[in-house]
Amino acid sequence: MNNLLQATWVEFLKARRSRMPLLTALGFAMVPLGGGFFMIVLKDPEMARRVGLISDKARLTMGAADWPTFLRFLTLAVGAGGIVLFGLIASWVFGREYSDRTIKDLLALPTSRSTIVLAKCIVIAMWSASVTLVICLVTLFVGTVLGLPAVPSQVFWQSGMMITIAAALTITLVTPFAFAASAWRGFLPPIGVMILALGLAQLTNAAGWGEYFPWSVPALFVQGEKLGMVSYILVILTGIVGIIGTFAWWERADQSQ
């Protein structure tokens, strides 16, 4: 347990001393800021056109300038865009050891490889959850500043639950990217795998089979699609396969090459 805590703390320090936490937070913060922009436009589309915020050809179909529309915008962003952000986090946490050529120094520490992998997974989950929490707080702040009409607390509760579930599903699906970063020794290959997964998600959705493709499930969930238990099982199995593969690779692969 002490080794795990120490390894987790080391991974946390690596992340804190880099620019990645700030960049990921700023990147995801664009979601509520972008949503706030649309709320301003929806409040008075004609004024927005007069001052040049939108062109005369713009067609606004998002809804009204209210909390349900704003929160739905955030929920859709987490479900659809979370794969990209959380995937980048996982790719960096595992891939940087190879890109920075620190893998040999890491393995020289008196800590088992499985403990190192588990510590990295914990940091990925905590990092992703923290970024999600930050954008939720920014969303509440932006909506309050804009003076959106008051709604029952149940609206916030339901949106919060959807965001939490969508984030959990998405975090589960990044473990294969961690494996790709380990197997191909860097953070660029898993980004390619992530792009492939997103492309296949679009294709399966278009073909009507999205509920059976794990990386389509979070987006379908936040869109309100009725998914069967098999969809969630596939997500869990994908996460398990990814984590087992990552553990196995670190335990058996020759990291000195």
The domain ranges of the chain are: 2-252
Tell if the pTM clears 0.85, that is, is over it: yes
Per-residue pLDDT band at 57 (split at 50, 70, 90): very low
How far is residue 51 CA from its own chain's centroid? 35
Mean residue pLDDT across the chain: 87
* pLDDT at residue 31, as a whole number: 87
Place of tokens 């553990």: 247
The answer to whether residues 24 and 87 touch, using CB atoms and an 8 Å cutoff, is: no
Cα 246 to Cα 243: distance, rounded to the nearest angstrom: 5
224: region left, alpha or beta (phi > 0 left; psi from -120 to 50 alpha): left
Enter the tokens of residue 204. Answer: 């399966």
Per-residue pLDDT band at 35 (split at 50, 70, 90): confident
CA-nearest of 218, 231, 221 to 84 is 218
Look at 51-55, 138-142, 241-245 and tell me which has the smallest mean pLDDT.
51-55
Q: Is the pLDDT of residue 132 over 80?
A: yes
Per-residue pLDDT band at 56 (split at 50, 70, 90): very low
Per-residue pLDDT band at 159 (split at 50, 70, 90): very high
Per-residue pLDDT band at 60 (split at 50, 70, 90): low
How far is residue 96 CA from its own chain's centroid? 19
CA-nearest of 147, 119, 97 to 8 is 119
Largest CA distance in the chain: 66
